[in-house]
Amino acid sequence: MSRVVVDPEILVGKPVIKGTRIAVSFIIELLANGMSEKEILAEYPQLKKDDIKAALLYASKCLEREVTVPL
C-alpha cells in the first residue's frame, strides 16, 4: 500500500501511484476495458507490475469499507 499516495496537491487528492500522476482509478479503468498488465506497462513505462497490484489492492480495500445497499 506504500505505492499508493493521497496528496491534495496531486490530482486534487485522488489516490495515485507514488511518484506519478497516474490515478488508481485510471489503472482500474484500463484493466476493466480489457488492457492487459503487459500493455499497461508498455504504455506507461513509469509504472511497475507492483504498482498495478497496489492499485487493485487499494480498490479492493476501499470496496471492503463500502456499505452494502440492496438494489
> What pTM value is reported for the model?
0.87
Contact 19, 44 (CB under 8 A): no
Residue 70: inside a domain: no
Compute the average pLDDT of residues 46-53.
Answer: 97
* Residue position matching grid coordinates 497490484: 53
Residue 14: inside a domain: yes
The total number of structural domains that make up the chain: 1
Residues 6+ apart with CB under 8 A from 18: 2, 3, 4, 5
Say whether pLDDT at 27 is over 80: yes
Residue 40: inside a domain: yes
Which CATH number characterizes residue 38's domain?
1.10.10.10
What range does the domain containing 31 cover? 4-64
